[in-house]
Amino acid sequence: MLWRGSQALRHFSTGRVYFKNKLKLALIGQSLFGQEVYSHLLKEGHRVVGVFTVPDKDGKADPLALAAEKDGTPVFKFPRWRVKGKTIKEVAEAYQSVGAELNVLPFCTQFIPMDIIDSPEHGSIIYHPSLLPRHRGASAINWTLIMGDKKAGFSVFWADDGLDTGPILLQRSCDVKPNDTVDSLYNRFLFPEGIKAMVEAVQLIADGKAPRTPQPEEGATYEGIQKKENAEIPWDQPAEVLHNWIRGHDKVPGAWAEIDGQMVTFYGSSLLTSSVPAGEPLDIRGAKKPGLVTKNGLVLFGNDGKALMVRNLQFEDGKMIPASQYFSSGETSVVELTAEELKVAETIKVIWARILSNVPVIEDSTDFFKSGASSMDVARLVEEIRQKCGGLQLQNEDVYMARKFGDFIQKVVRRLRGEDQEAELVVDYVSKEVNEMTVKMPYQCFINGQFVDAEDGETYATINPTDGTTLCRVSYASLADVDRAVAAAKDAFENGEWGRMNARDRGRLMYRLADLMEENQEELATIEALDSGAVYTLALKTHIGMSVQTFRYFAGWCDKIQGSTIPINQARPNYNLTFTKKEPLGVCAIIIPWNYPLMMLAWKSAACLAAGNTLVLKPAQVTPLTALKFAELTVKAGFPKGVINIIPGSGGVAGQRLSQHPDIRKLGFTGSTSVGKQIMKSCAVSNLKKVSLELGGKSPLIIFSDCELDKAVRMGMGAVFFNKGENCIAAGRLFVEEAIHDEFVTRVVEEIKKMKIGDPLDRSTDHGPQNHKAHLEKLLQYCETGVKEGATLVYGGRQVQRPGFFMEPTVFTGVEDHMYLAKEESFGPIMVISKFQNGDIDGVLQRANNTEYGLASGVFTRDISKAMYVSDRLEAGTVFINTYNKTDVAAPFGGVKQSGFGKDLGEEALNEYLKTKTVTLEY
């Protein structure tokens, strides 16, 4: 009853179908799978009378226990149920006390005695991740892949005293894809569909319709848990069998082979369907043919002449590397010098001796800086080598990266041979002749400084909202791709140049990147218009322009992040010095929305990088292209490999994995409140990673009759229709004082009629298409709901009859506080107007604050005292007075209440990506 698999959380609906018959259930098990089964059974009206799970580990309760304890459900945590074959009396009494009618075991690692299994009226049902009886035992998912099964699935069966041998209640199956892994199979099918099936099984029992189909003997197998000693790769097999063996053992225990006398474990296998690339031979013990270390990974050969590719290798000391880097991984011997190279080494030794005059003899272990050298000596060393070694050009950073003389000579020799030059960035573009230019759009994942296909080769279409056509197909990142990106970011932070780079040099790279973004602003703005529907002129000024400003602003902060000294009580007769240090967190994840694809990237990643972190960024699935173009520019700017990684794909796969990944220390998210809550939950359950959330809004804009009406009309329209209404701080509801209400509405409609709706690349266009089809349909439904509830549709509310996803700017009046339009964010070009009585300041404030959101707000009035009174009482992270949408890179931005917490922009944003360390010394 023990099975394995990545427990990545998935969210779905089983459908709200309520039945008459309900049961009292005991849940026995653990894990996120168990938690989800518990929650969905409660939603269906069943009563869970007790949860029996494992004891807390390291003070941390199991997810199932956490959910049950929160609900007040009785929770029992037993380390075991029996001793020497007999049920523990106290455990049995506790179980009997809840009076369950059915035991449900969604995931259980403990052996449950048969007197407990058979105790309830309806017995016990268990989930098993195989199509019983095909694979019984604990490693069922692994064996499904190892054996090359074309079908996978799960069974819900009635427990008996055998090992997974009880009658079948129901089964579900799915196809096994050629490059499926344990993780992908589990997350795509076994987890989400398994939860639905457990709920269905319980209801079948409650309704008296549950079958008991005996398991056939034919085809029955039992395979034990695979152990490392049994996972050595059997080489005399076809390529597909080798591939199945490797992917079936990934991640535990890991298939391995002996290379250069040590055990090397293989991860990330895929069948090679293209021609075999060029590479360097690698001898592997037992293999009939040497492997090939290529730029994409390690190619292995079956006895049928076909090939497979392995992405990652792990050595006995735990170090994991991309297989493509095997010969540069530090596992090979030091470079042997030729006679000419020895002469260069002697010349350099003389230079070192002159600079380090206090050192009697320069040896391989001599450390340049520990011997007293300063930054001025670094410049001198680089210049003397250039003069005396035939113009050999080194960088100051080369000295910092190779501080010891022996390491430095190795670096110099590799430089002379051209071995340490960065591989040229290879980019497969989709090119388009548009907007009087050729735009070149990368479309692959960007991981560890290279554009690469998703590991399983999956892609998806990104759509031009102007006409509904496909711009290109973009790599769809899998869980394995996320893990590779995180591993690259972690290595760059812990072992790479970035982690050792001084702050001023980090700032210089960010300035260089900002310059490149500005140099390419027309192309970036064009891609933004194509992919998101942003009007080109707005994209040029705001989407791209503010992104450039953001990187320049935070580049200036790099060398200004400071701690402080703190006077404390002295430990007499000694003295103490206490100070704080601000340090980077490590690997950070950033998940951004689709309304400002590049600007949202800049707002978060610039602060993250300035603080010294590395990052993995997931752009919105529908707008990935400017993020991938940005990745290309980071290479041109000189950012080290692994510092910045971009993984396009879905929130349910890539985003969820980021929120759960144990190596990520911070997650910054902009998006909906509902998704933000799930992310916060996953971040807490996984490793308590730091979180900042910028979530939904329903920002009130209060317009008093003593305002400057022309300005209020102009800026009120901007507050709603800016960027097609796809604006997180858009005024979600306008409160207009009764005295000017009708005139305000009339003038707004007059101005709307002047707006040009059309191609965002047309310089005269005011209003482009909505971002994607599903969003347009949601907006149209929003308008239909408003009309049904009795709000007055003054203008618009319809789709524009032309290709693409265009919507008319829309105005509703007569919106009352109880209506859907008054409560929910549209995130589109829909102006929602409510009237308030003349002079009723406190009343309108109460209405404005009567929302769970608190992102932004605004007020228009000539009375400064009134303006300040209102701004003091509005519950929002930002208040605009006689203006709107005025954000600046130096001003912190973020919400309160269910609009989230944490800040983007300004000095405060740095604190989201830093940790404070207190140091006390005694002297």
Does residue 778 have a known ligand-binding role?
yes
Does residue 348 have a known ligand-binding role?
no
Does residue 825 have a known ligand-binding role?
yes
Bridge partners (DSSP) listed for residue 310:
269, 298
Does residue 521 have a known ligand-binding role?
no
Does residue 621 have a known ligand-binding role?
yes
Q: What is the bridge-based pairing of β-strands 47-53 and 75-77?
A: parallel
Among this protein's residues, is 11 annotated catalytic?
no
**Long-range pairs of 377-384 with CB within 8 A, sequence gap ≥ 24:** 380/355, 381/351, 381/352, 381/355, 384/351
Q: Which two tokens stand for residue 461?
A: 């279409």
List b or e across 749-776, with b for residues whose CB sees 16 or more CB atoms inside 10 angstroms.
eeebeeeebbbbbeeebbbbbbbbeebb
Does residue 63 have a known ligand-binding role?
no
Name the phi and psi angles at 84, rounded to 5. 55, 40
- Asked, as a colleague might, if the bond just before 604 is cis with ω within 30 of 0, I would say no
Q: What are the distances in angstroms from CA 31 to CA 114, 665, 841?
A: 23, 22, 52
User: E-assigned strands of 272-426?
Assistant: 280-282, 291-294, 297-301, 307-314, 320-322
Among this protein's residues, is 258 annotated catalytic?
no
Does residue 705 have a known ligand-binding role?
no
Does residue 112 have a known ligand-binding role?
yes
Q: Which two tokens stand for residue 410?
A: 């190795």
Q: Count the Cβ atoms, other than its own, within 10 Å of residue 409.
A: 23
Does residue 787 have a known ligand-binding role?
no
Does residue 262 have a known ligand-binding role?
no
Does residue 803 have a known ligand-binding role?
no
Catalytic residue among 523, 694, 808, 875: 694
**Whether 630 contacts 646, CB under 8 Å:** yes
Q: Output DSSP code: residue 895.
A: -
Task: Using CA atoms of 819, 824, 828, 832 in order, give the dihedral in degrees to the nearest 10.
Answer: 40
Instruction: Write out the DSSP string of 541-599.
Output: IIIIHHHHHHHHHHHTTGGG----EE-----TTS-EEEEEEEEE-SEEEEE--SSSHHH
Does residue 226 have a known ligand-binding role?
no
Rounded Cα gap, residues 5 and 796, in angstroms: 51
**Whether 269 contacts 173, CB under 8 Å:** no
Instruction: Write out the DSSP string of 270-290.
Output: EE--SPPPP-EEE--TT-SS-
Which of 432, 430, 431, 434 is closest to 473 using CA atoms? Answer: 430
Coil vs helix vs strand at 228 = helix
Among this protein's residues, is 128 annotated catalytic?
yes
Catalytic residue among 108, 588, 728, 783: 728
Does residue 39 have a known ligand-binding role?
no
One-letter identity of residue 547: S
- Asked, as a colleague might, if the bond just before 167 is cis with ω within 30 of 0, I would say no
User: E-assigned strands of 628-727?
Assistant: 644-646, 666-670, 690-694, 699-703
One-letter identity of residue 63: P
Which of 51, 44, 95, 43 is closest to 72 using CA atoms? Answer: 51
Does residue 651 have a known ligand-binding role?
yes
Does residue 440 have a known ligand-binding role?
no
Does residue 488 have a known ligand-binding role?
no
Residue 396 is inside which H or E element, if any? helix 396-401
Does residue 539 have a known ligand-binding role?
no
Which of 660, 322, 619, 667 is closest to 460 using CA atoms? Answer: 619
Q: Is the C-alpha dihedral spanning 672, 673, 674, 675 positive or negative?
A: positive
Does residue 620 have a known ligand-binding role?
yes
Bridge partners (DSSP) listed for residue 450:
447
- Asked, as a colleague might, if the bond just before 573 is cis with ω within 30 of 0, I would say yes
Q: What is the bridge-based pairing of β-strands 614-618 and 644-646?
A: parallel
Does residue 672 have a known ligand-binding role?
yes
Does residue 199 have a known ligand-binding role?
no
Rounded Cα gap, residues 225 and 375, in angstroms: 57
Name the phi and psi angles at 897, rounded to 5. 55, -135
List b or e across 143-165, with b for residues whose CB sees 16 or more CB atoms inside 10 angstroms.
bbbbeebeebbbbbbbbbeeebb
Rounded Cα gap, residues 837 and 738, in angstroms: 5
Does residue 340 have a known ligand-binding role?
no
Does residue 706 have a known ligand-binding role?
no
Does residue 579 have a known ligand-binding role?
no
Rounded Cα gap, residues 488 and 214, in angstroms: 49
Name the phi and psi angles at 489, rounded to 5. -65, -40
Catalytic residue among 40, 122, 128, 741: 128
Q: Which two tokens stand for residue 606?
A: 């610039």
Coil vs helix vs strand at 311 = strand
Catalytic residue set:
128, 694, 728
List residues forming the annotated binding site for NADP(+): 592-594, 618-621, 651-656, 671-672, 778, 825-827
User: Binding site for (6R)-10-formyltetrahydrofolate, residues?
Assistant: 110-112, 164
